[in-house]
Amino acid sequence: MAPNSIWRELLIKSALLLFCLGLWFKSLYVFIFPILIVAWILDKGHLKLRQLIAEPLVQAIVILCGVLLLGFLWGDSFGGGRHKWTKYFFLLFFIPFLSLLNKERLPLVIGVLAFGYVSILLTGAYQWFSMGVLGVPFFNISYLGFSALLGLSVILAIYFACISQTTSFKILLITIALALLFLQFNQNGRGILLATLVTIPFLIFLRFRIEFRKLMTILVALIIVVAGFTFSSSAFQERLVLAKQDMKQLQQGNYGTSMGYRLAMWDVGLDAIAKRPFLGYGTGNGEQYFDDAIETYKGGIYQDLPNFHSTSHYHHDWIELGMHLGLLGMLVFAFFLWSWYRIFSAQKLPILGATLVCYIFLAGLSDTFMLYNRVPILLLTITAVMICWQKEKCSPMILEKK
């Protein structure tokens, strides 16, 4: 290998290392994405665009971001607020990252990514067990973000336990999944927890639907475990009490609660989409619309909500995109999720693809899951790693057949 090639490869691997580590530090996002793009150009990845664009998920990400850009054409203004919608463009990192992965670089990426992932989980677990702290404050991860990360970890652990051929490894993974699920029960993320609890039996059904007796045994065991966690988790019990209190506040016309705020956002959002169903209000106008509409909507019953929480998004993936882009945005998002499944299915990983898409879909019904800081990017990173791993695994088999 020529000296220039050696230095170029070293720079590319360093960029991948920095990306995998910087993924957990929100303040570094401004730097890690440009570094990744520079590494991609050094690797002449831009010359492989035709090959990359053949991947279903790459197509979907480009279309989603393209439609968001088009949405500026029919918006009245960019509006004020926190501009959370800009995070959709972070999804574009998937293109250079997937392009940079190959057989030689994959071990480094897997090792560094696993190191960071496990470190976050251990730090969060330690902070909760020792201090009762929710989330991972050390890494600036909120309890919702950490709950989403725990849910993803539980699902992945159960998936690999299901496909493992080694009994001892199965037991280890199931034990880890149960410990992480217990920790998630104590993170106060009700919607994310519910998404996890619905996705797990869906995964088990997909894996064991032919083996009915085994399926029923596992599902009964899961019900018992969930019931035990429900009654033993003080945090979960507190959230149930708060939910009942929120319901009482709603009956009295007070929407300044976690539940009331979400219902108000969804109410205003759905009404707004019904008024402009096809193209929405333009990219970046959703936040300002809510603040303006609540002054008069239903007699102003929601007008004090900005004092309870500043407006930034609609706490619902589909309503969020519907506000920006109407039915066009919802259809593009549906295509995006379908394409996410297709890229797994094309590599003979349909169960994993269906499970992850199910989790993303369900989590997005109670919050704007795709606007979380780290979890969607981590999901796409894992997707790229799994796709590359599967391709490298299948390549020798294809050569043998030839």
pLDDT (mean) for 253-265: 85
Q: Please determine, for residue 398, whether its predicted confidence score (pLDDT) is greater than 50.
A: no
Measured CA to CA, the distance from residue 170 to residue 52 in angstroms comes to 35
Distances (CA, A) of 188 to 134, 239, 250, 331: 8, 7, 20, 32
Closest CA to 395 of 100, 103, 98: 103
Length of the chain measured in residues: 402
Closest CA to 309 of 243, 371, 262: 262
DSSP character at residue 25: -
Q: Please determine, for residue 80, whether its predicted confidence score (pLDDT) is greater than 80.
A: no
More confidently predicted of 138 and 176: 176
Q: Please determine, for residue 237, whether its predicted confidence score (pLDDT) is greater than 80.
A: no
Residue-by-residue DSSP string for 126-157: HHHHHH---SBGGGTB-HHHHHHHHHHHHHHH
The model's pLDDT over 162-183, given as tens digits with 9 standing for 90+, comes to 998 898 999 999 999 999 999 9
Measured CA to CA, the distance from residue 79 to residue 72 in angstroms comes to 11
Measured CA to CA, the distance from residue 157 to residue 350 in angstroms comes to 17
Choice among 14-18, 221-225, 236-240 with the minimum mean pLDDT: 236-240
User: Mutual orientation of helices 258-275 and 286-293 as an angle, nearest 10°?
Assistant: 100
Taking the model in full, what pTM does it have? 0.93
Q: Please determine, for residue 77, whether its predicted confidence score (pLDDT) is greater than 70.
A: no
Where residue 400 falls among pLDDT bands split at 50, 70, 90?
very low
Are the CB atoms for 229 and 193 separated by under 8 Å? no
Provide the pLDDT for residue 10: 92
Q: What are phi and psi of 80, to 5 degrees?
A: -100, -150
**Close Cβ partners of 213 (under 8 Å, ≥ 6 residues apart):** none
Provide the pLDDT for residue 370: 93
pLDDT (mean) for 316-323: 95
The model's pLDDT over 107-135, given as tens digits with 9 standing for 90+, comes to 999 999 999 999 999 999 999 989 888 89
Provide the pLDDT for residue 336: 97
Where residue 349 falls among pLDDT bands split at 50, 70, 90?
very high
Residue with tokens 């998937």: 94
Choice among 131-145, 164-178, 341-355 with the minimum mean pLDDT: 131-145
Where residue 7 falls among pLDDT bands split at 50, 70, 90?
confident
Q: Please determine, for residue 401, whether its predicted confidence score (pLDDT) is greater than 50.
A: no
The model's pLDDT over 277-300, given as tens digits with 9 standing for 90+, comes to 999 999 988 888 898 899 898 888
| Helix-then-strand count for the chain, H and E | 17, 0
Q: What are phi and psi of 141, to 5 degrees?
A: -110, 125
> Domain ranges in the chain?
57-102+253-402
**145, two tokens:** 């973000």
Where residue 270 falls among pLDDT bands split at 50, 70, 90?
very high
**The amino acid at 233:** S
Q: Please determine, for residue 394, whether its predicted confidence score (pLDDT) is greater than 90.
A: no
Measured CA to CA, the distance from residue 24 to residue 139 in angstroms comes to 7
**Close Cβ partners of 366 (under 8 Å, ≥ 6 residues apart):** 190, 191, 192, 194, 195, 262, 315, 316
Q: Please determine, for residue 160, whether its predicted confidence score (pLDDT) is greater than 90.
A: yes
Provide the pLDDT for residue 397: 46
Provide the pLDDT for residue 48: 81
Where residue 158 falls among pLDDT bands split at 50, 70, 90?
very high
Where residue 402 falls among pLDDT bands split at 50, 70, 90?
very low
The three-state secondary structure class of 255 is coil
Provide the pLDDT for residue 255: 84
pLDDT averaged over the chain? 89
Provide the pLDDT for residue 76: 72
